[in-house]
Amino acid sequence: MERIIDKTKNLLYRLRFFAFAVFFLWIKTYLVYKFGFGIPSDNPLQEFLLFINPLSSAIFILGISFFFNEKWRKRVLMILAVAATLVLYFNLLYYRFFTDYITIPVLFQTSNMGDLGSSVFGLIQWYDVFLFVDILLLMIFAKKQHTFELRPLKREPLLIMLVAVLLFVGNLTLAQAERPQLLTRSFDRDLIVKNIGIFNYHIYDGYIQSQTRAQRVFADSSDIIEVERHVKAKHEQPNPDLYGIAEGKNVIVISMESLQSFVINETVNEDENGENGQVITPFLNSLIDESIYFDNFYHQTGQGKTSDSEYLVANSMFGRDSGSVFFTHGGNVYDAMPGNVADNGYYASVMHANNKSFWNRDMVYQSFGYDKYFDIMSYDVHDENSVGWGLKDVDFFEQSIDLLKSQPEPYYTKFITLTNHFPFELDEEDKFIDEAEYPSRTLNRFFPTVRYMDHALEYFFDRLKEEGIYENSIFIMYGDHYGISSNHDRSMAMYLDKEEITPFDTVQLQRVPMYIHIPGFEGNKVNSTVSGQIDIKPTILHLLGIETEDMFHFGTDLNAPERDELVILRDGSFVTDDFLFTSGTCYDKETEQETELEYCEPYFARVNNDLGYSDKILFGDLLRYKDYDHEAEKQNQTKE
């Protein structure tokens, strides 16, 4: 017995450096969960899982050092501790803006990093240094423990790995009991991190990405038949009063950066009596009466943000649940709207004063069928007319006038604004309203940049009228994605005069403005149909008199009289005319309170099918088979 006790003491003594490192990584990961990611717990079991799940990862990651000899073991352990801390910290920085976790496809978007600049620095906080304090303590401890020599180990490396695996299996078993089908809900990264941990999540993400990459290899032309049936069943007849109403007119599409609907028709900086506030979007407010305005319109983007909105609008298909289509599938075959209008006599172009390679646009735009991309090289950009991410919106629109006039008519041209982009920087002379005074500096700065963008849009409309372009054009304007993430919920609750931002509110805050503005049109109204960016493509094509029945798209014409009111978000949440579903909970929209899940259940199959079939097209690159032999389909239908 004494021999066993002595061996155990000796083992613990020899492992104490490792134990300290494991303890530090375990605890700081848990603290990041609670204070960095703000992960909530609904019951003691969830809190226990949250607390315990970093332990198996810490033991496994740092235990790799025991497979090295005595000379290298401590050094390798230190390197692993630093690497794990950096993974944790990069996820924290990413989460502060995107309210999401890094995925493998995001790592391939590093070509964007050179343009992020102040956006990244705006996410760094002074107290982040505490994440690295344990590394310093381990370095001091390692240098002072001269008598602590690690002798060659035999069974210990495998024993340590076995302990890590057993802990993980126990963790996963409890997690599956708490959340059945946990690992089949890969679109819900919050649930996966909450239950199995950030490091195990990254391993799981690697597995998922390998599976999706294999889908193209094994896809064949028969796969598109099932998808086509699903898509055709969704087709809605267009509104006969609006079909072809804009045929032959120029189409100007404006992607309004980071604009959410909560600022429309609202003020900020009211006095003590709640009066005399500053109007945030005076021009966009006035445009509502002159347009078909959609007040229940949602962005449906994921990690790709602006690029996701571009993909949704151009293709009427969902983006990836992780990363950006622009990077992972830029070379796919697409049946995109720019190519569709180009086939019908339009000149298709994009105007965006950014580097052509940002978001891999130079490659993707060719796949979408654009004739021309007017990138930063088409503009005069210098320090005096730039702020934040680049060329100011007023200067961008002004310089774009001549580019518009250089194009053959009719044209389809998309504009992507820049100024209202995180971290919402603005020169003093461009601040038409004051910054707000909420705890969130990001929200405070958001209001003046939104007001500036509103001014820039008004300026653009005035210039188009002066140049004689306005009357022969139609305008499609929409917010591309959220600007204020859930990390600023405390300040958002104060602004909205709510006690807190609930999951219901979070989804409702994903509403973005959507305008169809047709000069001279007299049927303008506020349309409250539940809709999203995926519906823009069939809407525009029908306005131009272009038939869409044989196209592959998952949206429906916003003006269709019999359209089904359902919008699906990329994370699996969805909204109908009466109910809202998110994070496993069904809400009654009228009361904004939780209700029986059975009210939302009838939509589950539709949501899963739309997301699944859209992914199938993307991952399998199925549109390369678009002109497949329809005789094969007829034979299949005959057999059935």
Q: What residues act catalytically? A: 306
- Cβ neighbours of residue 630 closer than 8 Å, sequence gap 6 or more: none
Q: What is the DSSP string of 377-400?
A: GGS---GGGEETTEE-HHHHHHHH
Residue whose entry in the numeric block shows the structure tokens 């003691």: 44
Asked if 452 contacts 396 with a C-beta cutoff of 8 angstroms, the reply is no
Asked if 94 contacts 305 with a C-beta cutoff of 8 angstroms, the reply is no
Q: How would you label 339-353 residue by residue, b for 16+ Cβ within 10 Å and e otherwise?
A: bbbbeeebbbbbbbb
Under DSSP, is residue 456 helix (H, G, I), strand (E, B) or coil? helix
Helix (H) or strand (E) holding 61: helix 44-63
DSSP label of 238: P
Under DSSP, is residue 325 helix (H, G, I), strand (E, B) or coil? helix
What's the CA angle centered on 216, arms 629 and 229, to 5 degrees?
45
Under DSSP, is residue 403 helix (H, G, I), strand (E, B) or coil? helix
- Cβ neighbours of residue 78 closer than 8 Å, sequence gap 6 or more: 135, 138, 139, 142
Distance in angstroms (rounded) separating the CA atoms of residues 366 and 344: 17
Rounded CA Rg of the chain: 27
Query: Does residue 423 have a cis peptide bond before it, meaning omega lies within 30 degrees of 0?
Result: yes
Distance in angstroms (rounded) separating the CA atoms of residues 486 and 99: 7
A 10 A CB-CB count for 548 gives 22
What's the CA angle centered on 437, arms 431 and 440, to 5 degrees?
100
What's the CA angle centered on 366, arms 361 and 368, to 5 degrees?
90
* Cross-strand bridge partners of residue 580: 575, 587
Task: Using CB atoms within 10 Å of the CB of residue 427, give its burial: 0 to 12 exposed, 13 to 18 middle, 19+ buried.
Answer: middle
**Reduced to 3 DSSP states, what percent helix, strand and coil does the chain have, rounded to the nearest 5?**
55, 10, 35
Copy the structure tokens of residue 560: 């269709």
Distance in angstroms (rounded) separating the CA atoms of residues 610 and 572: 10
Distance in angstroms (rounded) separating the CA atoms of residues 79 and 60: 14
Spatial CA neighbour of 253 closest among 309, 295, 330: 309
Helix (H) or strand (E) holding 141: helix 133-144
Distance of CA 356 to the CA centre of its chain: 21
Asked if 318 contacts 300 with a C-beta cutoff of 8 angstroms, the reply is yes
Task: Give the total residue count for the chain.
Answer: 640
Spatial CA neighbour of 238 closest among 625, 591, 546: 546
